[in-house]
Chains A and B, each alone.
Chain A
Amino acid sequence: ETGVTQTPRHLVMGMTNKKSLKCEQHLGHNAMYWYKQSAKKPLELMFVYSLEERVENNSVPSRFSPECPNSSHLFLHLHTLQPEDSALYLCASSQERTENQPQHFGDGTRLSIL
């Protein structure tokens, strides 16, 4: 149990569907992150939230839309995705978005786009 819970664990969707990924952290952390992990590639940072404010958006296509309603919850809203968006989507949290802050990861949502 890492203290970061992601749902669903697996998701299959068509390119025209709309779905959302959910992340919840029980660690009292102030920073939350979305990453994309494709096979044999490094984790790609997508979005960073600090105290519920988006502080980083790494040129992510607009078909991915994050939402952070409070410091414990993070969502990733998906619509009109492409086959290349199939990957493992990981949520992480850290105490602050500063140095010396290990990140705590959830177990991810395995997303498959048909």
Chain B
Amino acid sequence: SQKIEQNSEALNIQEGKTATLTCNYTNYSPAYLQWYRQDPGRGPVFLLLIRENEKEKRKERLKVTFDTTLKQSLFHITASQPADSATYLCALDMYNTGGFKTIFGAGTRLFVKA
């Protein structure tokens, strides 16, 4: 069956450390992978997109890797801050009849302690 797996347990880290979140998938062949941030009571906000032929993408303190062999993406936040506390969603973009289809994971909650 097709699955997207993100760690359902919350990740707790200390301020200043690097947070690493994992997104694994099975039986999908995504052309793109996206990461979103969602705060309580708010809609998801787009952070980064990486193509299947890209290994790594960076934006300020954020870094995403995409390994199509392992079927895994890692999302890193360096020098983490309490303001980074949120739920992070990964999403796969795949070719679909008539266009593209985006499938979301359930998200991982990140808590950054001061």
Contacts and interface: CB of A to CB of B under 8 A. Distances in A.
| Interface size of A as a range | 20 to 34
- DSSP class of A's interface residues: helix, strand, loop or mixed? loop
A104 interface: yes
Contacts, number: 60
Given A100-B32, A102-B34, A107 B41 contact: yes
Nearest to A101: B100
A2 interface: yes
Given A2-B43, A106-B43, 17 more contacts: A40-B8, A42-B89, A42-B104, A42-B106, A43-B44, A43-B89, A45-B102, A56-B101, A98-B100, A99-B31, A99-B32, A99-B100, A100-B93, A102-B49, A104-B46, A107-B41, A107-B43
Interface of B: 4, 8, 31-32, 34, 41-46, 49, 51, 89, 93, 95, 98-107
Interface string A84-107: 000000101000011111111111
A71 interface: no
What are the 6 A-B residue pairs with the smallest beta carbon separation, nearest first?
Answer: A105-B43, A102-B46, A43-B104, A97-B99, A42-B106, A42-B104
